[in-house]
Amino acid sequence: MQEENYNQDTLQLLGHTVDSLCTGYINFDEFQHFEGLLCQPDALYRVAFKIFDRNATGVLSFDEFRNTLQHTVLNKFVKFNFDTEFVKLHFGAKRDRSISYHEFTQVLWEYQEEHALQAFRKFDENRSGSITLKDLKKILVNICPHLLSPYVEESITSLGDADSELITYPYFKGLISLLNNMELMKKIYLQVTEKNKEKTVAQGEFLRNAQNFTQVTPMEVRILYQLTGLMHKDGRLVYSDLDAVAPLDVEKMPYALQSVTLGTIANMKESDAAHSEGQSAFMQVLENFYRFFLGSIAGATGATAVYPIDLVKTRMQNQRTTLVGEVMYKNSWDCFKKVLRFEGVSGLYRGLAPQLVGVAPEKAIKLTVNDLMRGKLSGSDGSITFMSECIAGGMAGASQVMFTNPLEIVKIRLQVAGEVSSAARPSAIQVIKELGFFGLYKGARACFLRDIPFSAIYFPTYAHLKKKFADENGYNTPLTLLAAAFIAGQTTYNGVFHCFKTILKEEGGRALWKGAPARVFRSSPQFAVTLVTYEMLHRFFYVDFGGRKPEGSTTGRSIEDFVPPNPDHIGGYKYVRPTFEGVETRFGLCFPKFRAS
C-alpha cells in the first residue's frame, strides 16, 4: 500500500510485537526473539498479548486493554461498554489491577462473549429477550466475523423456528458457542464414525455421543443439524458438512503449519504420495530388495519362536488310529511332553533348518508382494479400497506357494521321521531325491486354496485392526501391532479336496480337526511375531527410497522437539502472516489497515 494511506496506529500496535524495547527500531536480537515466539504452540495467544501489552511490561493494564480494543474495527459497529461488571471483575472496581499473560488468554475469550451480549442488548430494544434474524446477521457479520464461514453467513436468516423470525437469547448463545466449538464437533463426529469421514450420522446418535463432553448442549446440536439440514433434508450429516460450518481453516493456522514443518502424520501421506510418484524404477527395485531382506529376518524370527508348536501340530495331524483303537498322542499337550521326554529339547526343533530356509523367503515374498501391490493399488493420497487390499493379500499368498511347497513337504517328512524310534532318520537331501521334482509339488493345489484366501483375509484384517488400535495421531506401539497381528491370525483354516474325502471316510469327521488347537496357537503367534518384527525393523533400520513410510510408524512431535539446524536462524518468520491472520480469524481482533478518510 502507499505510505500515505496506511494506518499509523495499527502499524505501531503490530510493530510493538517485535519491538520489545519500544525504541521504534527492530534489532537482530528482537527479530530472533520474535521468531522463537512464533514457534511456540500458543503463538496466537502470545502475539495477541504482545499487541495489547504496548508498554512491554509483561502484564496488561486496563488502559492498555481499553485503548487496544477501541482501535479495533469491531468496536466501530457496537462500542464496547467498559463500565460493566465484566471489566470490574478482571481489572478491579477502580481499574487498577493488571492481568498476566495466562489471565489474558481467558479474558480474551470472555471479552468476545461480552461484546456479543452487549450487541444483543442493543438490538433488543423492547427487552423481550429476542432479536430478529436480520439483527442476528448484523451482529455476527460485524461483531463475530471470525466465527462465520461463507456457508453460515448465507444461512443465518434461515435459522430459528420455521414459524418465527425471532431469535431468543439462549438460541443466540447456543449459536455462538457452537461456532466456537466446531473443532470439538468434528472430534465427536470422528468418534461416532470411528474416523470414517464418509459415514452419515443421525442427530440422536450424535447427541448421545456428545454427552461425553459436558460443554456441548442439546441446543448446540440442534442448531448444528439445522445448519446442515439446509444442505440436505435427510436429517443426517457427514464430515464435509462440518467443514462447511466450521469458521476456521485449521490447515492455515500456525500450529498446523508447524506440524507440516515437522513432518507429522497430517502431511505425511501427501509428501509420501508425491515421493512415490517420482520414485524411479531403480529405487523401486532397491526398495523391494530391502523389504525382502527385512521380511526374511522377520519370517525366520517368527518361525523359530513357534516351531515347537508347529512340530506338535504336524504330529497330531499325521498320527492315525490303529486297529485296536490306540493313538500315540492323546492331545497336543501329551504330544509335547512325549517329544520332550523321548527326544529331548532338540527334538522340538527337529527339521528347523529346512524350515528356516523355506520360511524366511516365504514370509519375505509374502510381505514384499503385499507391500508392493498395496503401493500399486493405492491412490495418490495413499488411500486404498478394501477390494484392492484383498487383491494385494491374495497375490501375496499366491506368490509364495511355488517356492514354499517343496520346502513344506521336506519339513513334514523330517518332522514325522522321529516318531518311529527304530527307523533311520533321513536327511533333507535324501527326502528330495526320494520324492523327485513333481513329488515336491504334491498338494500345491491345496496350498493355493489355503494361502490365497488366507492372505486375502489376513492382510486387510491386520491393516484395519492396526488403524483401529492406533492412537489419535495414528501411531502404533509394538503392543498394538502385536495385538492386531495376533487377532488377524485367527482367520487360519484347514481343508483339501481328496484329503478331505479320504480322512472323512477312514477316520470320521473329527479327524479333520486333529491338531487344530496347535494350528491356531502356532499360526497366530507366528504371524504376530513376524509382522511385529517386520514393522520394527522398518522403523529401526529405515531407509528412504522415496516411497511411503509404513503406516502407523511415525508419531507427531511438538514444536519443542524441533531443533533448528542453525541456532541463529530459527525460521519462525514463515509463520508471521498466518499468525496475524489467525489473531484476526480466531479472536476477532481486526484492526483498520488504512487511514480514516
Q: State pLDDT tens for residues 432-473.
A: 888 787 777 777 777 777 788 888 888 888 888 888 888 766
Count the Cβ atoms, other than its own, within 10 Å of residue 117.
Answer: 17
Q: 260 or 433, which is more confident?
A: 433
**Range from 135-149, 430-444, 570-584 that averages highest in pLDDT:** 135-149
561 found inside a domain: no
Query: For 148-162, 253-267, 291-305, 485-499, which range has the lowest pLDDT when averaged over its residues?
Result: 253-267
| pLDDT confidence of residue 290 | 85
| pLDDT confidence of residue 559 | 42
Provide CB contacts within 8 A for 251, sequence distance 6+. Answer: none
Let me know: does 135 contact 99? Beta carbons within 8 Å. no
Distances, alpha carbon 543 to alpha carbons 40, 529, 548, in Å: 31, 22, 11
Q: Write down which residue in 522, 540, 558 finishes a domain.
A: 540
| pLDDT confidence of residue 563 | 42
- Report the Cα–Cα distance between both ends of the chain, in Å, rounded: 15
395 found inside a domain: yes
Query: For 71-85, 110-124, 214-228, 574-588, which range has the lowest pLDDT when averaged over its residues?
Result: 574-588
230/315 same-domain check: no
**Closest of 314, 395, 306, 312 to residue 359, by C-alpha:** 306
Residue 224 pLDDT exceeds 80: yes
Work out how many domains the chain is built from and give that number: 3
* pTM > 0.75: yes or no: no
Inter-helix orientation angle 576-587/43-52, to 10°? 80
Percentages helix, strand, coil for the chain (3-state, rounded to 5) are 65, 0, 30
In terms of Cβ atoms closer than 10 Å to its own Cβ (0-12, 13-18, 19+), residue 423 is: exposed
Residue 126, helix vs strand vs coil: coil
591/491 same-domain check: no
Q: 97: pLDDT confidence band, cut at 50, 70 and 90? A: very high
What does the alpha-carbon distance between residue 177 and residue 454 come to, in Å, rounded to a whole number?
51
271 found inside a domain: no
SS (H, E, C) 231-245: CCCCCEECHHHHHHH
| pLDDT confidence of residue 141 | 85
Q: 165: pLDDT confidence band, cut at 50, 70 and 90? A: confident
332/356 same-domain check: yes
| pLDDT confidence of residue 405 | 73
157/238 same-domain check: yes
Q: H or E segment at 309?
A: helix 281-318
Instruction: Give the CATH number for residue 288.
Output: 1.50.40.10
Residue 262 pLDDT exceeds 60: no
**Residue 434 DSSP symbol:** H
Q: 272: pLDDT confidence band, cut at 50, 70 and 90? A: very low
Backbone conformation region of residue 323, classed left if phi is above 0, alpha if psi is from -120 to 50, else beta? alpha
239/353 same-domain check: no
Over the stretch 341-399, which tens digit does the pLDDT of each residue have?
A: 888 877 777 777 777 776 777 778 888 888 888 888 887 767 788 888 889 888 888 88
Residue 246, helix vs strand vs coil: coil
Q: Write down which residue in 493, 524, 540 finishes a domain.
A: 540
131 found inside a domain: no
| pLDDT confidence of residue 571 | 60
Q: 172 or 28, which is more confident?
A: 172
What does the alpha-carbon distance between residue 362 and residue 356 come to, in Å, rounded to a whole number?
9
| pLDDT confidence of residue 567 | 45
Q: 267: pLDDT confidence band, cut at 50, 70 and 90? A: very low
Residue 495 pLDDT exceeds 50: no
Over the stretch 25-70, which tens digit does the pLDDT of each residue have?
A: 888 888 888 888 887 888 888 888 988 988 888 899 999 999 988 8
Q: 531 or 391, which is more confident?
A: 391
Inter-helix orientation angle 43-52/28-38, to 10°? 130
Q: What percent of the chain has pLDDT over 90?
A: 14
551 found inside a domain: no
Residue 511 pLDDT exceeds 80: no
What does the alpha-carbon distance between residue 314 and residue 339 come to, in Å, rounded to a whole number?
12
Query: DSSP readout, 165-207?
Result: SEEEHHHHHHHHHHHHTHHHHHHHHHHHHTT-TT--EEHHHHH
135 found inside a domain: no
| pLDDT confidence of residue 116 | 87
443/456 same-domain check: yes
| pLDDT confidence of residue 170 | 92
Provide CB contacts within 8 A for 275, sequence distance 6+. Answer: 546, 547, 548
| pLDDT confidence of residue 218 | 93
141 found inside a domain: no
166/256 same-domain check: no
Domain with 508, as residue range(s), is 276-540
79/162 same-domain check: no
Q: Write down which residue in 540, 558, 581 finishes a domain.
A: 540
89/42 same-domain check: yes
Q: 494: pLDDT confidence band, cut at 50, 70 and 90? A: very low
Residue 544 pLDDT exceeds 80: no
The HSE-up count of residue 151 (CA atoms within 13 Å, CB side) is 17
180/87 same-domain check: no
| pLDDT confidence of residue 497 | 46
